[in-house]
Homo-oligomer: A and B are copies of this chain.
Amino acid sequence: MRRLKLTLQYDGTKFFGWQIQVKKRTVQGVLEETLGKLLNSQTQVQGSGRTDAGVHAKNQVAHFDTENPMPTEKILTALNFLVPEDIFVKSVKEVSPDFHARFSAVARLYLYQVRFTKSIFERNFVWQIHYKLDFEKMREAAKLFIGEKNMISFCRMHTETNSYFCKIYEIDFEELQDGFNFRIKANRFLHSTVRMILGTLVEIGRGHLKIDDLERILASDEKQKIGMTAPSLGLFLEQVFY
């Protein structure tokens, strides 16, 4: 038995997210089907984490086990020949059997792209907003998220988890001529957490929410109503750290 690690890109626009679902086109589903054919044996693929419908990945990591002795370079070439054009496998590497794409990961970095003017060439990859933002306030508010924080108010209602705590290491706003890139790194994220954090920071940046309100929400152990959830299309899983 060999354990193989995949690093891959996908354009999430036409996927119902990462996780396999009956009769829906998902990245995990397409990979398992393709690997099953290629390796002549049913193959389960474990990702570093799920991404939601419409969310993209620049470097998603996954692993699978196989008895098939096919060389990794051949698997890489064949996979890229077989997968649809919205998936690209960047590398296939043999790893130790105790490597686990999800449980060995120590941190995840997400990128979110926001632009202030419309460009149809980026329409599936950026959130286009049309109001001015106060970056100073957004940066000040972002600091409140740093550290080990209870994210109960920053995840979808029905998220099943044994803990709402996430250790957030870093939040960065990279200002561009025509918008900004938002990056956030944490040990883990719950369902929609990145999009809810960014949506909240944007509400603060446009003056619809006060930093005091955010402090109150973050201090509570019970789920509080927050503002906007940023749409999925601007979000990329940029890096997984091991």
Chain A residues engaging chain B, CB cutoff 8 angstroms: 9-11, 56, 85-88, 118-121, 123, 125
Contacts and interface: CB of A to CB of B under 8 A. Distances in A.
15 contacts: A9-B119, A9-B120, A9-B121, A10-B120, A11-B120, A11-B121, A11-B123, A56-B121, A85-B120, A85-B123, A86-B120, A87-B120, A88-B118, A88-B120, A121-B125
Contacts of A123: 11, 85
Contacts of A86: 120
A118 B86 CA distance: 12
Which interface residue of A87, A118, A120, A125 has the most chain B CB atoms within 10 A?
A120
Nearest to A80: B118
Nearest to A9: B120
Contacts of A125: 121
Contacts of A88: 118, 120
Which interface residue of A88, A118, A121 has the most chain B CB atoms within 10 A?
A121
A9 B128 CA distance: 16
Nearest to A125: B121
A122 B147 CA distance: 35
